[in-house]
Amino acid sequence: MSHPKILLGVNVDHVATVRQARYRAHVLDHGDEVEPDCVAFALACEAAGADGITMHLREDRRHVQESDVQRAREQIATRLNLEMACTQEMIDYALKLKPASVCLVPESREEVTTEGGLDVVGQKSRVGEVIAAMTEAGIVTSLFIDPDPAQIEMSAELKSPWVELHTGAYSNAYFHAGRRHELDTLRAGAELAHSLGLTVNAGHGINYTNIAEVITLPHLHELNIGHTIISRALFVGVEQAVREMKAFL
């Protein structure tokens, strides 16, 4: 049975994480002196078939820096997806940058990477304001949410064109008893989102093993994947790592 093509967005944040481990206080305009360069990694991903590049510019600038995002906006040939918190600083930044899309995410300085979905229900007014501002500027908005019916329904009510279903709970449960329940929850969430007119993306914790089940979810438009591709690239190179993931899609 054939399936529609699912797009691959590659998140390059953790390339910047490696760089910042050594060069946190270093000026990032010295070319090859400061490595690894997440923009160079992004370009290699594109050359291997990635359909888009995702970057998360965090409030504390722990990995990706503004200069990274700006260079990516200028150099990549596909689409830049900017992950961002619902702060006024990031709203202003996105409106100035004009990426192809933004994905609104929760943000905590205590977390290593984004954990859990955005509470759209609890932040209805603020999220609605961001969606309206981005829509007016011609920027597509996605909401990174848990596959919870209330969050999905509110996303549709606020007229977010896209949602990105948080696959973290499923990924964490992959080798445990809760795996089937989490996959069924994602499946139901994807069906509900599609029925409400939302474009369905997914991401977080997807790897070369669990991808085989993730791609069985209905109505998927794009998967955003980062850590596992970066990890695989250490052994086989960037291009091969991307090609292997693309082969699943």
Catalytic residue among 14, 46, 63, 83: 83
Decide if 83 is catalytic: yes
- Sign for the pseudo-dihedral over CA of 84, 20, 112, 148: positive
The closest of 98, 141, 99 to 120, measured between CA atoms, is: 141
Catalytic residue among 56, 63, 182, 222: 56
- DSSP letters of 39-101? HHHHHHHHHTT-SEEEEE--TT-SS--HHHHHHHHHH-SS-EEEEE-S-HHHHHHHHHH--SE
Burial bucket for residue 212 (CB in 10 Å: 0-12, 13-18, 19+): exposed
- Non-local (6+) Cβ contacts of 49 within 8 A are 8, 242, 243, 246
CA distance 138 to 93: 15
Q: What's the DSSP call for residue 204?
A: S
Decide if 136 is catalytic: no
Decide if 219 is catalytic: no
Report the alpha-carbon angle 56-238-179, nearest 5.
Answer: 65
> CA of 117: how far to CAs of 24, 184, 205, in Å?
28, 17, 13
Q: Are 102 and 143 in contact (CB under 8 A)?
A: no
Catalytic residue among 14, 63, 166, 204: 204
Residues annotated as catalytic (active site), given as ranges: 56, 83, 204
